Amino acid sequence: MAYEYDHLIVGAGMTADAAAKAIRELDRTARVGLVGDERHAPYERPPLSKGLWKDDRPIESIDLGTSASGAVLHLGRRVVGIDRVARRVVDDQGGVYAYRRLLLATGATPRRLPIEDERVIHFRTLDDYLALRRRAVPGASAAVVGGGFIGSEIAASLAGAGCRVTMLFPGDGIGAGRFPYGLSDFLDGYYRERGVTLRAGTRVVGGRGAREGVELAFSDGTEARFDVVVAGLGVVPNTDLAAQAGLAVDDGIVVDARLRTADPDVFAAGDVARFPCAPLGMRLRVEHENAAIGMGRHAGRVMAGTDEDYTTLPFFYSDLFDLGYEAVGLLDDRLDVVEQWVQPYREGVVYYLDDGRVRGVLLWNVWGQVEAARDLVAEAGPHDADSVRGRLPRLA
Ligand SMILES: Cc1cc2nc3c(=O)[nH]c(=O)nc-3n(C[C@H](O)[C@H](O)[C@H](O)COP(=O)(O)OP(=O)(O)OC[C@H]3O[C@@H](n4cnc5c(N)ncnc54)[C@H](O)[C@@H]3O)c2cc1C
């Protein structure tokens, strides 16, 4: 089949949805098409690891309603090539799509464990959630590999579902490297109190599926068997298509402040894009919802004819049992870390400074301060521990 679109979007995730809606707001007649390799229409990903487990939120509620924008959804199809001269892409089923402007919103793919077994779930998609939910029965033993965002959220959700959870990660503690030592140590205790077994400093070095479960081999020479294994080992941006099409790739598709590649009719946004982040004065690739929605929306607007830079410093958030946070900028404990606790590890702010400037702010159970945190990061400074403490209105 052959199709013709004014605006073609490859990938059908949150970025694609935001772009399609933004195009429609500015152009009521444009022909907009989305090609996505998942079988589902665009949906919210963040509830997969938390909200859907906690609130008995129905699955249908995560659907983003993209087709109401008038965009045509081509689902279950993978784009396998881009011909920028002919302005055409082709999918894995022989579909050919002509475009005037193209957005690459191909997102990212989880890193994999070296074990092929359907009980090993590299958690990313709605189908992964459905597969895990089927196995996450009370009493089931679950290994969660990874102590970052996905691992810590999924471990909490599985524990809440009554599973016997073991969390394994190479670092010293949950969120180590991102959170200050004391906070990471507190989190470890918080998880243990809620029944999660932690194995810090441990890597999975091998394993195999057996009839009774998945057997994992660890870096310390031990082995253990689990009913289900969830991997949260980080993701790799889906840049192959862009690279094949001769576009610049550097751990992400390289775009300018308009979210355009070197080809003025090809854009990239969301988890896959490496963009110039003006408030931090550096290129970034962000794997968070606020960036996906904001950049998708921005790319859609520029594709539809506006001429403006993307200047937002994205924020991100996470929920861990009944704790939660929002954050902006760089969270890296190698920076100068300034902690300001209203109540230790229950409510407070962590500032990350480098060379007299605030580079990141963690708002721990502190809400409504994202804009103030963004302003602080945008300030030229100079800042030090004394000048940042009390800068956020809630904590002044
Ligand atoms: C479980 C989970 C929980 C999260 N929780 C939070 C949170 O609490 N807070 C937060 O800020 N962020 C969170 N995130 C991150 C946030 O959801 C992502 O940043 C966002 O979904 C990225 O959207 P995207 O559209 O850019 O990429 P993706 O979501 O990866 O979507 C890209 C889509 O394109 C498809 N695709 C790729 N290549 C092709 C191709 N060649 N042809 C066709 N289709 C293709 C992919 O299969 C995918 O469906 C979470 C993510 C996950 C997975």
Residues 97 and 200 in one domain: no
Nearest CA to ligand 1 atom 19: 288
Residue 336 belongs to what domain range? 322-395
Give the separation between CA 245 and CA 226, rounded to whole angstroms: 43
Residues 122 and 174 in one domain: yes
What is the pLDDT tens value at each position of the chain, 396 positions in all? 999 999 999 999 999 999 999 999 999 999 999 999 999 999 999 999 999 998 678 899 999 999 999 999 999 999 999 999 999 999 999 999 999 999 999 999 999 999 999 999 999 999 999 999 999 999 999 999 999 999 999 999 999 999 999 999 999 999 999 999 999 999 999 999 999 999 999 999 999 999 999 999 999 999 999 999 999 999 999 999 999 999 999 999 999 999 999 999 999 999 999 999 999 999 999 999 999 999 999 999 999 999 999 999 999 999 999 999 999 999 999 999 999 999 999 999 999 999 999 999 999 999 999 999 999 999 998 999 999 987 876 665
Domain with residue 374: its CATH number is 3.30.390.30
Residues 250 and 183 in one domain: no
Q: Which of 10, 123, 267, 288 to mutate to test the pocket of ligand 1 (most atoms within 8 A of CB)?
A: 288
Domain final residue, candidates 210, 231, 252: 231
Q: Identify whether 40 is part of a domain.
A: yes
What pLDDT, on a 0 to 100 scale, did the predictor assign at position 395?
63
Q: Identify whether 317 is part of a domain.
A: no
Domain final residue, candidates 303, 337, 353: 303
What pLDDT, on a 0 to 100 scale, did the predictor assign at position 396?
55
Nearest CA to ligand 1 atom 41: 79
Q: Identify whether 309 is part of a domain.
A: no
What count of other Cβ atoms lies within 10 Å of the Cβ of residue 98?
Answer: 16
Q: Identify whether 312 is part of a domain.
A: no
Q: Which atom of ligand 1 is nearest to the CA of 50?
A: 3
| Residue 118 identity | E
Distance 89 CA to ligand 1 centre (A): 21
What pLDDT, on a 0 to 100 scale, did the predictor assign at position 114?
93
Question: Do 296 and 17 touch, CB atoms closer than 8 A?
Answer: yes
Which among 326, 391, 325, 314 has a CA at the least distance from the CA of 358? Answer: 391
Residues 136 and 211 in one domain: yes
Q: Which atom of ligand 1 is nearest to the CA of 125?
A: 53
Domains held by the chain: number: 3
Distance 158 CA to ligand 1 centre (A): 21
Residues 288 and 353 in one domain: no
Residues 30 and 90 in one domain: yes
Q: Which of 45, 97, 152, 293 to mutate to test the pocket of ligand 1 (most atoms within 8 A of CB)?
A: 45
Q: Which atom of ligand 1 is nearest to the CA of 129?
A: 1
Q: Which two tokens stand for residue 72?
A: 């045509």
Residues 218 and 246 in one domain: no
**Ligand 1 site residues, Cβ closer than 6 angstroms:** 10-16, 35-38, 45-46, 48-49, 78-79, 105-108, 123-124, 150, 238, 241, 270-271, 287-290, 292, 316-318
What pLDDT, on a 0 to 100 scale, did the predictor assign at position 393?
66
Question: Do 153 and 319 touch, CB atoms closer than 8 A?
Answer: yes
Alpha-carbon distances of 196 from 61, 143, 166, 271, rounded to whole Å: 29, 10, 6, 30
Residues 226 and 239 in one domain: no
Distance 14 CA to ligand 1 centre (A): 7
Question: Do 270 and 287 touch, CB atoms closer than 8 A?
Answer: no
Q: Identify whether 316 is part of a domain.
A: no
Q: Which atom of ligand 1 is nearest to the CA of 319?
A: 8
Q: Identify whether 94 is part of a domain.
A: yes
CA triplet 316, 40, 101: central angle to 5 degrees? 75
Domain final residue, candidates 177, 204, 231: 231
Distance 211 CA to ligand 1 centre (A): 33
Q: Identify whether 6 is part of a domain.
A: yes
Residues 144 and 226 in one domain: yes
Domain with residue 157: its CATH number is 3.50.50.60
Q: Which atom of ligand 1 is nearest to the CA of 286?
A: 19
What pLDDT, on a 0 to 100 scale, did the predictor assign at position 392?
79
What pLDDT, on a 0 to 100 scale, did the predictor assign at position 391?
81
Q: Which two tokens stand for residue 346?
A: 């229950």
Distance 235 CA to ligand 1 centre (A): 10
Distance 13 CA to ligand 1 centre (A): 6
What pLDDT, on a 0 to 100 scale, did the predictor assign at position 147?
92
Give the separation between CA 16 and CA 34, rounded to whole angstroms: 7
Q: Identify whether 313 is part of a domain.
A: no
What pLDDT, on a 0 to 100 scale, did the predictor assign at position 349?
96
Residues 199 and 211 in one domain: yes
Taking only Cα atoms into account, the Rg of the chain, rounded to an integer number of angstroms, comes to 22
Q: Which of 17, 274, 289 to mutate to test the pocket of ligand 1 (most atoms within 8 A of CB)?
A: 289
Residues 213 and 254 in one domain: no
Give per-residue burial for 311-327: e unless 16+ CB within 10 Å, then b: ebbbbbbbbbbebebbb
